[in-house]
């Protein structure tokens, strides 16, 4: 590098020396020492060698800060080398001349930075001198000011999708991403080349990247499904792994990972699992009266007071018959059966280590038939997060309940502690639940939603204190399990199912375009 610099400088100096006759003639009168060419050559040589003292001797009345300016510029620009390529001096008057030159500053961070300038000369006190101004140093200094390279400091990390891509914009998941970032210490540095306070070149900082489980396609589909929908959330989980593929949360002062709500009839997935465990099958004949009175206890009714008469247990599930579930549950289930089953499906009351915290579901052991009645239909002491109910749907599809997570398991456990072990569910029971959830979509409460083929699910409409009913729909399709929740939204079938349809159709469209 140094050899090339000296060669370039030598060629330029040779050109100047060859023009000495021209320069001497330009001196104007006897008694003038040297020539413009000789002074220019000496100045450029000293500059290339960073001999500021020699440069200063060749300048007419150098400013007091001449040396400091040059040293400061080299330091503030992180200058490694300067390559100068002067042109022949030319006369601009009887005793004035100028030598245009090209220069390339080699900066540590930015590499080569070329520019053009002019070295002006004049006869002063009988000898040729350099008429120096800050512009001689660099044309951007014509009006004064400083040139400098400044660091751009960025704290934190960049979260990327499972595919290694940037997160979709307007994803309604900023709260979750901010929570994840807070668990990582990161520092990155870029550089800005500044001229008089204005940025003229930049090397952006490259933040350390942390890969999440979020799928760009799933996240985008979930977010667009919630456009225009307030106080709602969608959580999507990969059934086979428990990885959270997307979370779009527009809940007002609430969180889809942490806040509990009564799940309503979506909890019948777990109630059905307990009843199937007791010996029922999806084909067992049952009754679905409009009302059912627990002997010596409370009465339960179906939505709309509908009497569906005799049907199978699978059909009762598809039509969400409250009376069927309460009658069977209060007569067939041992006292602890429902709670024990719920615990297998994540209803432990404990937190979930997702990498950003969270919780699943909770319920008390029913103390009497009235409490059991409410629990069987997802009311009373039964509460769940939308995250939890997405995990319930995922467990049906995969046959194993898995704790959901936003990061690789190793990172999750570093941040939140040890994750619960997956729970393998009874294959026979899970197989029947799959058929029953398909029937919900084909001929049950979700049949009017126009959901894509092979979607399975369960609707829920949960009574809520202090507001309207909550709308729920949980389901799965092609290894993507999901929960749609609209707080005080009303009917699950009428409100949550259409949102789920937008989500699934949007996901299909996104995949087709990719």
| Domain assignments of the chain as residue spans, ordered by start | 2-145, 216-513
Residue 9 has pLDDT above 70, yes or no: no
CATH superfamily of domain region 216-513: DD-peptidase/beta-lactamase superfamily (3.40.710.10)
Q: How far apart are CA 457 and CA 442, in angstroms?
A: 10
CATH topology of domain 2-145: Nuclear Transport Factor 2; Chain: A, (3.10.450)
413-442 pLDDT, tens per residue? 999 999 999 999 999 999 999 999 999 999
The predicted model gives 248-252 an average pLDDT of: 98
Question: 140, 149 in Cβ contact below 8 A?
Answer: no
Q: Where do the DSSP E strands lie in 108-157?
A: 111-124, 127-130, 147-155
Calculate what percentage of the chain has a pLDDT beyond 70: 94
Residue owning tokens 């929570």: 179
Structure confidence at residue 3 (pLDDT): 33
Neighbours of 104 (CB within 10 A): 17
Structure confidence at residue 1 (pLDDT): 37
Structure confidence at residue 513 (pLDDT): 76
Structure confidence at residue 30 (pLDDT): 65
Structure confidence at residue 330 (pLDDT): 97
Structure confidence at residue 11 (pLDDT): 33
The predicted model gives 199-212 an average pLDDT of: 92
DSSP state of 496: I
Residue 251 has pLDDT above 80, yes or no: yes
DSSP state of 364: P
- Per DSSP, the three-state class of 139 is helix
* pTM metric for this prediction: 0.78
Q: How far apart are CA 361 and CA 257, in angstroms?
A: 11
85-102 pLDDT, tens per residue? 999 999 999 999 999 999
The predicted model gives 172-194 an average pLDDT of: 92
Residue 341 has pLDDT above 70, yes or no: yes
100-131 pLDDT, tens per residue? 999 999 999 999 999 999 999 999 999 999 99
Tokens of 455: 């979607």
- In this prediction, residue 514 has a pLDDT band, given cuts at 50, 70 and 90, of low
DSSP state of 493: I
* Closest among 478, 439, 471, 475 to 458, alpha carbons compared: 475
25-40 pLDDT, tens per residue? 344 446 888 899 999 9
Question: 330, 300 in Cβ contact below 8 A?
Answer: no
């Amino acid at each position: 590098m140094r050899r090339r610099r000296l060669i370039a400088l030598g060629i330029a100096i040779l050109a100047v020396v060859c023009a000495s006759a021209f320069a001497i003639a330009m001196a104007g009168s006897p008694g003038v020492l040297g020539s413009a060419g000789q002074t220019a050559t000496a100045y450029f040589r000293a500059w290339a060698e960073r001999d500021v003292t020699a440069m200063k001797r060749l300048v007419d009345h150098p400013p007091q800060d001449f040396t400091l300016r040059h040293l400061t510029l080299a330091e503030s620009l992180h200058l490694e080398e300067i390559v100068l390529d002067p042109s022949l001096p030319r006369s601009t008057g009887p005793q004035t001349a100028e030598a245009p030159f090209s220069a390339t500053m080699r900066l540590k961070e930015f590499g080569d930075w070329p520019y053009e300038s002019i070295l002006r000369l004049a006869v002063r006190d009988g000898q040729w001198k350099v008429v120096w101004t800050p512009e001689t140093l660099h044309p951007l200094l014509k009006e004064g000011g400083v040139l400098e390279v400044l660091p751009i400091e960025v704290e934190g990390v960049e979260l990327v999708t499972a595919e290694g891509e940037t997160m979709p914009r307007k994803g309604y998941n900023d709260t979750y991403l901010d929570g994840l970032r807070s668990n990582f210490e990161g520092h990155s540095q870029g550089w800005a080349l500044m001229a008089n306070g204005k940025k003229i070149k930049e090397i952006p900082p490259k933040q350390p990247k942390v890969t999440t489980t979020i799928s760009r396609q799933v996240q985008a589909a979930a977010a667009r499904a919630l456009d225009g929908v307030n106080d709602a959330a969608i959580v999507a989980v990969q059934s086979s792994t428990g990885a959270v593929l997307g979370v779009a949360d527009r809940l007002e002062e609430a969180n889809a990972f942490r806040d509990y709500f009564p799940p309503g009839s979506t909890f019948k997935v777990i109630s059905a699992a307990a009843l199937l465990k007791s010996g029922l099958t999806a084909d067992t004949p049952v009754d679905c009266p409009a009302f059912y009175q627990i002997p010596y206890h409370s009465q339960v009714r179906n939505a709309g007071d509908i009497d569906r008469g005799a049907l199978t247990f699978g059909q009762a599930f598809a039509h969400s018959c409250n009376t069927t579930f309460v009658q069977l549950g209060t007569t067939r289930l041992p006292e602890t059966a429902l709670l024990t089953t719920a615990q297998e499906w994540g209803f432990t009351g404990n937190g979930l280590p997702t990498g950003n915290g969270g919780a699943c579901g909770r319920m008390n052991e029913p103390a009497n038939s009235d409490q059991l009645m409410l629990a069987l239909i997802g009311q009373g002491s039964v509460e769940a997060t939308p995250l939890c109910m997405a995990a319930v749907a995922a467990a049906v599809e995969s046959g194993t309940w898995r704790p959901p997570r936003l990061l690789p398991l190793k990172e999750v456990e570093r941040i939140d502690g040890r994750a619960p072990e997956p729970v393998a569910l009874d294959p026979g029971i899970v197989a029947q639940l799959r058929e029953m959830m398909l029937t919900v979509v084909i001929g049950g409460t979700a049949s009017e939603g126009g959901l894509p083929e092979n979607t399975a699910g369960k609707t829920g409409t949960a009574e809520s204190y202090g507001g309207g009913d909550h709308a729920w729909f949980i389901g799965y399709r092609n290894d993507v399990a999901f929960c749609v929740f609209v707080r005080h939204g009303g009917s699950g079938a009428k409100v949550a199912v259409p949102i789920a349809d937008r989500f699934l159709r949007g996901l299909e469209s996104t995949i087709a375009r990719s």
